[in-house]
Amino acid sequence: MSNSTGSFSAPPQILTFDGLLSDFDGTIVDSTDAIVKHWHKIGAELGVDPATILATSHGRRSIDTLQLYDPTKANWEYVSYVEGRIPQEYGSDAVEIPGARSLLSALDEAGARWGVVTSGTRALLEGWLGVLNLTHPDVLVVAEDVELGKPDPRCYLLGRTRLGLEHSPALVVLEDAPSGIKAGKAAGFTVIALTTTHTLEQLQAAGADVIIEDLRSISVKSVVDGRIELEVRNAFQA
């Protein structure tokens, strides 16, 4: 049951994981304005109301969205081309989520096992990392890597494999969208959700374990024997 009577004021807690996997759009980068402009442009080309597309596109792969409206464009060549244009054309319309830059730097510097699992294409992800000059993850799972996108868990399971942690259930997923939260939970992982793009109620309904406002609430305490100690502050508590 949803309970929104509460506040983002939980005392600090230390959570320990073998690895961390993060979504990208809405979790590390706020590219909403750029994505909205992109779908307005695509909607005009397809003759589809962009509001209709935007109602269901967040957290989903473009190839799956396009399949609904024009299957002839639901191919990786086209999707990579149009997504690769987004950071080039609308680069000034994206900013990092508060706390993202320092968290990625800290994970990298501490030698943590971490990676990004995104519904975006490699062209889109590489474009944003370049435009915003963010730490590049060694481990990536992009839209082209999986047969089924979120909420199917295989993207996060592939991320775990690429981290070299096939047999560990002790992973944490950072997410902002219900489809991604469901994917992380279906993979058997702990999910920390951000209220950057969806309501508290939507994140609760999707099954998030911990809900925070943004990445300023998470810091890397240490990495000991490969295990990441995260401090989580000001999580939601009812």
The domain total for the chain is 2
pLDDT of residue 56: 83
Q: What value does the mean pLDDT of the chain take?
A: 95
Q: Are residues 18 and 37 in the same domain?
A: no
Q: Over the stretch 169-194, which tens digit does the pLDDT of each residue have?
A: 999 999 999 999 999 999 999 999 99
Burial level of 172, CB count in 10 A (0-12/13-18/19+)?
buried
Q: Is residue 71 part of a domain?
A: yes
CB 30 within 8 A of CB 97: yes
Domain enclosing residue 61, as ranges: 32-93
Looking up residue 42, the CATH number of its domain turns out to be: 1.10.150.240
Q: Are residues 120 and 143 in the same domain?
A: yes
Average pLDDT over residues 71-92: 96
Q: Which of 47, 77, 93 is the last residue of a domain?
A: 93
61: alpha, beta or left, given left = phi > 0 and alpha = psi -120 to 50? beta
Q: Is residue 101 part of a domain?
A: yes
Sign of CA dihedral 152, 155, 158, 164: negative
Q: Are residues 228 and 137 in the same domain?
A: yes
Q: Prior bond to 151 cis, omega within 30?
A: yes
Q: Are residues 185 and 204 in the same domain?
A: yes
Q: Are residues 84 and 161 in the same domain?
A: no
CB 24 within 8 A of CB 159: no
What pTM does this model have?
0.93
Is-catalytic flag, 209?
A: no
Is-catalytic flag, 25?
A: yes
Q: Is residue 3 part of a domain?
A: no
Q: Are residues 119 and 20 in the same domain?
A: yes
Residue 1: pLDDT band (50, 70, 90) is very low
Q: Are residues 16 and 115 in the same domain?
A: yes
Q: Over the stretch 111-164, which tens digit does the pLDDT of each residue have?
A: 999 999 999 999 999 999 999 999 999 999 999 999 999 999 999 999 999 999
Q: Which of 18, 23, 30, 176 is catalytic?
A: 23
Q: Which residues contact 51 (CB under 8 A, 6 or more apart)?
A: none
pLDDT of residue 4: 59
CA dist 147 and 134 (Å) reads 28
